[in-house]
Amino acid sequence: MRMVDQSGLICAFAAFLLLNAGSAMPAARGGAAASEARIDRQTLVKRHNVTLKKPDPLTPLSVGNGELAFTADITGLQTFPEYHEQGTPLCTLSQWGWHSLPNPQGYRLEDALEEYEVAGRQVPYASGRTRSGGYSPAANWLRANPHRLHLGRIGLRLTKADGSAAAIEDLANTTQTLDLWTGLLSSRFELEGRPVQVQTVCHPMRDLLAIRIESPLLGQQRVGLALAFPYGHADWRSAADWKQPERHTTRTRRDDRQVDFTRVLDADRYHVRMAWSPGGRLEARSQHEYTVSSTVGRPLEVVVAFAPREMAESLPGFEAVRAAAAEHWPRFWQSGGAIDFSACTDPRARELERRVVLSQYLMAIHGAGSCPPQETGLVYNSWYGKFHLEMHWWHAVHFALWNRLPLLERSLSWYETILPQAQATAGRQGYRGARWPKMTAPEGRESPSEVGVFLIWQQPHPIYYAQLCYRAHRDKQTLERYRRIVFETAEFLASYPVWDAAGERYVLGPALIPAQESYGSTRSRNLNPTFELAYWHWALETAQEWRLRLGLEREPAWDRVIQRLARPTIRDGVYTAIETAPYTITRDHPSMLAAYGVVGATPLIDPNVMKRTLNQVLKTWDWPSTWGWDYPMLAMTAARVGEPEKAVDALFLESPKNRYLANGHNYQSARLPVYLPGNGGLLTAVAMMAAGWDGAPDRPAPGFPDNGQWRVRWEGLQRLP
C-alpha cells in the first residue's frame, strides 16, 4: 500500500485547534458597527444543518476529519451503493490509502517522454502520446497508478419479513440530518412499519468511524452491519473493483468482540480493526465480507478503524467517539473566521450564507489533510484519486483567509517531501530549481498527460502559500521553514522564460498550455498568457522580498526576468488570453481575469484595461463550458476593479456548473457531481469581499455593494494579498 506515514502526525483538526485554542476572537466587523455583539456562531452554523427527507443519488452526506472521510446514503451507511453509482458514489477514502496494479513491463516515466523544441533545444515532456494518437501503454499505466482505494464498504444488512433483501424502495418515512455543530449524522427510516435509527460519526483525530444502530428488527436478525472489502480499480472514477475477489486477500484475527483484518492487494497492504458492543455476533459471509448482528435485540454499536500499519491502540466505544466529535466541532466553528448574512436584505444572501457554511464543513473534512486533496476530495475518485496541484490554490488559500492557517500549512509540508522529484523534473528539462507536477499522488511523480505536463500556473503557488504563512506569523521561523521551497521555486521561475532578442524581453513558452486549457492543440507555439505573466512577476518579486527579510541581497538573475518580462497583450482595448493566435477563445476558464483577481497589483496589469476585459468576458463568454472556480475568480476580479454589484452577480451567475446541491457540493456534471475547487474558491472570494485585499477601499465589506442590502457582519478574517 502506497501510504503517507502518519506516525507522529496530529490530525489537521487537532493541529488547528491546539494552535488556536483560547485565542481572542476579533470583534464583529463589516456593515455592522464594530461595537456590536460577536456573531452567535452556533445559531449561524446550525441553521444550515442538512436535512434530507428522501433518497437522492446526488446528495449523500459525509463525515470525516481531513485524513479519512466516509460518505453515506439515506440509511447513514453505505447500504445501497448501486443507487448512487450514477450519481455520487459512496466510498471510504483516506489520504494514505493507495493501490497500484502490478507493473510487469516495468513502465517508468522515461517511457512516456516526448521531446518538444524550446529555443533551439529539445525538451522532454511526459505527454505519453503515441504517433497514432492517444496514450501509450506506459502512459496509461502511469496515469492510473497509484490510484486511491476504497478502504471498505460499511452498510446495513436489511431483510424483509419474507427473508428477501430489502431495496431502497422498501424504506419509508426516511429522514436524515447532518448536525454541523457536533459532526453527527442521524438517519431514521421504517422497514415494513418497523423503525430503524442509525447514528454515524467520525473521530476527529483518528481514522475511525463509530456507528449506533437501534431497531426492534435487531432482535429478529433482520438488521445487521455488513463490512465488505474490494480490490483496487484503475478507473478514472471508481475506487473499488468488486468483481475480482481472487486478486486480493483478507486475513482475520478474532479476539472476543473484536476482529483485526489485514488487507493484501498485490504489493500493498493496510489494516482494519472492528469492535462491537456486547451481544453482537460476527459472521464471515465470504473472504471479503463480514456481518455483525445482535443476539439480544438491544442497540448495536460498532467501531471500525483503518490504518496503514497494524494498530496497537485499543478502540474507543461509540459514546467516546461521539463525545470527541461533539467537543471538536464546536471548537472548530468557534475558532477562525465567520460571516453572518442574516441582516442582509438582498434575497440571495441566505443562499450565499448556506453555501459558505457548508463549504467550510466540506473543505474541513475533505481538504484539510496531510496531502493536497483530489478535486472530489475524499468523497470518491476523480482522475484516479490523484490531486492536481494547480487546483491546490482553490482548495487551500481560504484556510489562511479564514484564520485557519494550520489547515493550509499541514499540506505544505508535503511539498518539502517531493522537492527532489520536482528538482529532477526541472533538471531533466534543462532548468534550475524545482518544477512542480500537475497531476500526482503522494510520492510526487507526475502523471503523463497531453495537457497537464504543459501547464505552468501551479509553479508560483508554493510562493503564494508561503507568503500567506508569513503574513500571518511575521517571524523569521516562517522564513526559514519555507525558504528552500520559495527559493527553489523562484529558481525555476527565473530559468524557464526564454530571452527574445528581437523584442528584448523574456517570454513564457512554448511549449505551454495556459490555465485556460482550450489552447492545448497549439501548445508548441503558445506564448505569454496574461495570467501566468502577472503571476510570474508577482512570485519572483515576492521571492526577492524573502531574500531581503533574511538579510540576503536581491538575486540579479531573478531581477533580470522581473525587469524584462513580457507584458500582456492588449487587443481592442482588452487583455487577450495569450499573445499568439487565436488570442482569446471564449470558452473554458476566462483565466486572463485571474491576473488581477487571484494576483494582486503588479506593474504588468492596468486596472482600467482589466475592468474592460471583465465586462467583455461577461458579455461574450460561453458559460456552460466554465468550471466551478471561475465564478469566484470573476467575483474577485470584479471586486478589485470596483464593481461590487458584479462581484455578487458572479457568485450567482446562471450556469450549469455554478450549482450547489443540498449537501453543499458544487455540481459540475453527471461525471463530476462533486467539485471542491468551487467550494474553496467561494470561501476565498467571500472572505476577500468581506475583509478586503491589499489596496482595497477603506469601507466595510468593500467587495459587497454599498447599497444598504448587504449588511455583512464578519469576524476573524484576513485580507487577501
Residues 581-606: what's their mean pLDDT? 97
pLDDT at 363 exceeding the cut of 90: yes
Q: How much is the pLDDT for 295?
A: 81
Q: In sequence order, what are the beta bridge partners of 448?
A: none
∠ CA 318-323-327, nearest 5°, is: 150
pLDDT at 9 exceeding the cut of 70: no
Q: Can you give the length of the chain in residues?
A: 721
Burial 450-486 (b: 16+ CB within 10 A, else e): bebbbbbbbbbbbbbbbbbbbbbeeeeebbebbbebb
Q: Which CATH number covers residue 323? A: 2.70.98
pLDDT at 156 exceeding the cut of 70: yes
Q: How much is the pLDDT for 21?
A: 38
Q: How much is the pLDDT for 32?
A: 37
Q: Tens digit of pLDDT for each residue in 517-552? A: 999 999 999 999 999 999 999 999 999 999 999 999
Quick one: 117 and 202 in the same domain? no
Closest to 80 in 3D by CA, of 156, 150, 188, 149 = 156
Q: For residue 523, what is the DSSP state?
A: T
Quick one: 241 and 127 in the same domain? no
Q: Which helix (H) or strand (E) holds 714?
A: strand 713-715
Residue 156 lies in a domain: yes
Q: Is 501 exposed, middle or buried (0-12, 13-18, 19+ CB in 10 A)?
A: exposed
Residues 305-331: what's their mean pLDDT? 97
Closest to 498 in 3D by CA, of 512, 513, 509, 489 = 509
- pTM of the model as a whole: 0.96
Residue 195 lies in a domain: yes
Quick one: 307 and 280 in the same domain? yes
pLDDT at 614 exceeding the cut of 80: yes
Peptide bond into 511 cis (omega under 30): yes
pLDDT-based confidence at residue 132 (cuts at 50, 70, 90): confident
Residue 410 lies in a domain: no
Domain stop point among 309, 328, 347? 328
Instruction: Say what angle helices 676-691 and 630-640 make with each other, to 10 degrees.
Output: 20
pLDDT-based confidence at residue 37 (cuts at 50, 70, 90): confident
Q: How much is the pLDDT for 242?
A: 98
Cα–Cα separations (whole angstroms), residue 296 to 158, 275, 456: 17, 17, 62
Quick one: 244 and 129 in the same domain? no
Quick one: 230 and 265 in the same domain? yes
Residues 473-481: what's their mean pLDDT? 97
pLDDT-based confidence at residue 27 (cuts at 50, 70, 90): very low
Residue 314 lies in a domain: yes
Residue 89 lies in a domain: yes
Residue 666 lies in a domain: no
Residues 459-474: what's their mean pLDDT? 98
Evaluated on CA atoms 308, 314, 316, 317, the torsion sign reads positive
Q: Which residue has the higher pLDDT, 23 or 295?
A: 295
Quick one: 132 and 274 in the same domain? no
Q: In sequence order, what are the beta bridge partners of 292?
A: 225, 282
Q: How much is the pLDDT for 36?
A: 65
Quick one: 160 and 178 in the same domain? yes
Which SS3 state, helix, strand or coil, does residue 254 take? Answer: strand
**What is the C-alpha separation between 365 and 361, in angstroms, rounded?**
6
Q: Tens digit of pLDDT for each residue in 404-415? A: 999 999 999 999
For residues 222 and 297, the answer to whether their CB atoms sit within 8 Å is no
Residues 277-284: what's their mean pLDDT? 95
**What is the C-alpha separation between 497 and 487, in angstroms, rounded?**
16
The number of C-alpha atoms within 13 Å of 633 and in the hemisphere containing its C-beta is: 27
Q: Which residue has the higher pLDDT, 717 or 5?
A: 717
**What is the C-alpha separation between 598 and 393, in angstroms, rounded?**
9
pLDDT at 30 exceeding the cut of 50: no
- Sheet of 153-158, strand order: 153-158, 223-228, 289-294, 280-286
pLDDT-based confidence at residue 455 (cuts at 50, 70, 90): very high
Domain stop point among 290, 313, 328? 328
Quick one: 114 and 206 in the same domain? no
Cell of 648: 455578487
Burial 596-622 (b: 16+ CB within 10 A, else e): bbbbeebebbeeebbbbbbebbbeebe
Quick one: 215 and 232 in the same domain? yes
pLDDT at 436 exceeding the cut of 90: yes
Quick one: 134 and 241 in the same domain? no
pLDDT-based confidence at residue 5 (cuts at 50, 70, 90): very low
Residue 648 lies in a domain: no
Task: Name the residue range of residue 117's domain.
Answer: 109-144
Amino acid letter for position 27: A
Quick one: 117 and 212 in the same domain? no
Evaluated on CA atoms 499, 500, 501, 503, the torsion sign reads negative
**What is the C-alpha separation between 633 and 685, in angstroms, rounded?**
7
pLDDT at 673 exceeding the cut of 70: yes
Q: In sequence order, what are the beta bridge partners of 61?
A: 72
Domain stop point among 300, 328, 356? 328
Domain count for the chain: 2
Closest to 517 in 3D by CA, of 627, 435, 653 = 627
Closest to 279 in 3D by CA, of 218, 324, 339, 188 = 218
Give the phi and the psi of residue 267 in degrees, each rounded to 5. Answer: -90, 5
Residues 410-432: what's their mean pLDDT? 97
Quick one: 163 and 85 in the same domain? yes
pLDDT at 23 exceeding the cut of 80: no
Residue 266 lies in a domain: yes
Residues 405-428: what's their mean pLDDT? 97
